[in-house]
A and B are shown apart, each in its own frame.
Chain A
Amino acid sequence: MSNKSKISLSEEELVLALRRHEKIAVEALYDMYSSSLYGVISRIIVDTAVAEDVLQETFVKIWHSFASYSTEKGRLFTWMVNIARNLAIDKLRSKDFKNQNKNQELEINVTFIDEQRNTVYKPELLGIKDLVQTLKADQKEILELVYFKGYTHVEAADELGIPLGTIKTRLRMAIQQLRKHFN
């Protein structure tokens, strides 16, 4: 799909249009945010088909619970990405998904683990090389775990064997670094 056919609205316009149940709002919502949301989902869930299902579930849930979104609480994307991440993590921890992975274990155990724990960004992504270079290794690590693997900061502290306070500080530093980068 080419970028020309994509619909883009300002966030304010989009929120208003969604509240008015306009068809164009749904298309704009998808065109504006599907790739960002899918970027998060597809890193948490490696199985493409399952990741696609989760993306669809995410948009359905966004629509059904849109009344609960308030601009005062924050940006639309923050609200949406948390829905997407929660659905993806729920799926990852669901019984079905675990059973499915057990079946795969013997054959693709190694590649599966590699994909799950791969800390290398996909090279096709624009600006990633710069972004990677701006982050220190420990910052990158914590951002990976919390943002792309669905770890809570408590789980990340356990995983990395460092105190909670340090996790919080590192996370803040990483995001500060991103802010600098994007500004």
Chain B
Amino acid sequence: MKVEDIKAYIESGILELYVLGDVTSSEKLHVEEMASQHPAIKAELDEIERSMELFAAANAVEPPAQLRDRVLNSLLTNFGDDNNFPTKHPQPVKENVIAMPAPKANGFYKYAFAACFALLIASVVALFSVYNKLQNANTQLIALNSTNQKFSSTVNFMDHQLSVYRDTSFKVIKLKGTAHLPNGLMLVAFSPAKKKVIIDMADLKMPANDKEHQYQLWAIVGKTPVSLGVFDKDAADNSLMKEMKSVPVAQAFAVTLEPRGGSINPTMDQMMVIGNL
């Protein structure tokens, strides 16, 4: 580049704009390149810079005094962040620091334990209450079961009794009262095929026997009375039927009042009812 060109470049005013920062980045690079290549341009730039620096100094305005501390503090804080600048940290003013009471470390566990304990007590109470209810329920269940069994056995028994009436092989014989017992009446069911004798206790119309005596049922086979067992007439006894000893054939049935346990031979004058087939 010729000396004239350098002079023209200097006089273009680009160097002033460069110093004022009023250039594009490509212009900036160009000026820096020219300055590094041409000492005259570098010297001119330096002169302009010095002038502007002096001009700024001549136009300087002192910032407020307190701003110095503010700015320096913000910079020193930044240095502190960089960890490469020793800074004095003011000691904390201990007089102004009132220690807060340290929170008790076991506070949480204390409350947790109390809560657990309360829960335990509540659980025990609840468990006890539930246990009692369960016991009551069990008792009721047992009672219901026994009642159920009673009903079921009663039903079975009555089914059995009903089968007697349904069974066509049974004959029902009416035993009527003798002179001793004009109103006496007894029903005997007799099945020669099954050799069964059943007496009807429900409609038995005979007086209650005392403790020394019992009624005895007899079957008259040919001319011979055969004992079919004893029974009691008891108001408390609510059984409907009673099965007596078996006999294959009989012409008649009779009931006598005998000493308790029965007799081998019937006491004929104590005959209560009699009926022929």
Give A contacts to B, CB under 8 Å.
1, 21-23, 26-27, 30-31, 34-40, 42-43, 52, 55-56, 59-60, 63-64, 72-75, 77-78, 81-82, 85-86, 121-122, 125-128, 131, 146-148, 152-153, 168-169, 171-172, 175, 178-179, 182
Of A30, A36, A171, which is within 8 A of B60 by CB? A36
What are 27 residue pairs bridging A and B, where the CB atoms are less than 8 Å apart in the complex?
A: A1-B62, A22-B85, A23-B85, A26-B75, A30-B72, A34-B67, A35-B60, A38-B61, A40-B59, A52-B63, A56-B71, A60-B78, A63-B78, A64-B78, A75-B46, A77-B53, A81-B52, A81-B56, A85-B21, A131-B55, A131-B58, A148-B59, A168-B16, A171-B20, A172-B11, A178-B51, A179-B50
Kindly name the residue among B12, B52, B61 whose own CB sees the greatest number of chain A CB atoms within 10 A: B61
Give B contacts to A, CB under 8 Å.
11-14, 16-17, 19-22, 32, 36, 45-65, 67-68, 70-72, 74-76, 78-79, 82, 84-87
Chain B residues whose CB sits within 8 angstroms of the CB of A122 once the complex forms:
61
Of B13, B48, B50, B53, which is within 8 A of A36 by CB? B53
Chain A residues whose CB sits within 8 angstroms of the CB of B65 once the complex forms:
1
The answer to whether A78 and B71 touch across the interface, beta carbons within 8 angstroms, is no
Closest to A167 in B: B13
A-B interface contact total, Cβ < 8 Å: 147
The answer to whether B22 and A146 touch across the interface, beta carbons within 8 angstroms, is yes
Closest approach, in angstroms, between the C-beta of B47 and any C-beta of chain A? Answer: 6
Considering the chains assembled together, what is the distance between the CA atoms of A1 and B52 in angstroms? 25
Closest approach, in angstroms, between the C-beta of B35 and any C-beta of chain A? Answer: 8
Of A72, A146, A179, which is within 8 A of B51 by CB? A179
Considering the chains assembled together, what is the distance between the CA atoms of A93 and B63 in angstroms? 22
Closest approach, in angstroms, between the C-beta of B252 and any C-beta of chain A? Answer: 135
Considering the chains assembled together, what is the distance between the CA atoms of A1 and B65 in angstroms? 6
Chain B residues whose CB sits within 8 angstroms of the CB of A74 once the complex forms:
19, 45-46, 49
The answer to whether A168 and B32 touch across the interface, beta carbons within 8 angstroms, is no
The answer to whether A169 and B13 touch across the interface, beta carbons within 8 angstroms, is yes
Closest approach, in angstroms, between the C-beta of B209 and any C-beta of chain A? Answer: 126
| Interface residues of B, dominant DSSP | helix
The answer to whether B49 and A75 touch across the interface, beta carbons within 8 angstroms, is yes
Interface contacts beyond A148-B59, A168-B12: sample of 18 additional A-B pairs, CB < 8 Å, sorted by A: A22-B85, A26-B79, A34-B68, A36-B53, A39-B56, A40-B59, A52-B64, A56-B71, A59-B74, A74-B46, A74-B49, A75-B50, A77-B56, A82-B20, A171-B13, A172-B13, A179-B48, A182-B55
The answer to whether A60 and B75 touch across the interface, beta carbons within 8 angstroms, is yes
Chain A residues whose CB sits within 8 angstroms of the CB of B86 once the complex forms:
23
Chain A residues whose CB sits within 8 angstroms of the CB of B50 once the complex forms:
75, 179, 182
Chain A residues whose CB sits within 8 angstroms of the CB of B20 once the complex forms:
82, 146-147, 171
Chain A residues whose CB sits within 8 angstroms of the CB of B58 once the complex forms:
125-128, 131
Considering the chains assembled together, what is the distance between the CA atoms of A152 and B86 in angstroms? 42
Chain B residues whose CB sits within 8 angstroms of the CB of A126 once the complex forms:
58
Of B51, B70, B79, which is within 8 A of A175 by CB? B51
Considering the chains assembled together, what is the distance between the CA atoms of A64 and B49 in angstroms? 23
Given A40-B56, A128-B59, A168:B85 Cβ within 8 A: no
Considering the chains assembled together, what is the distance between the CA atoms of A127 and B57 in angstroms? 10
Closest to A175 in B: B16
The answer to whether B16 and A182 touch across the interface, beta carbons within 8 angstroms, is no
Considering the chains assembled together, what is the distance between the CA atoms of A85 and B75 in angstroms? 20
Kindly name the residue among A43, A128, A175 whose own CB sees the greatest number of chain B CB atoms within 10 A: A175
Of B11, B22, B51, which is within 8 A of A182 by CB? B51
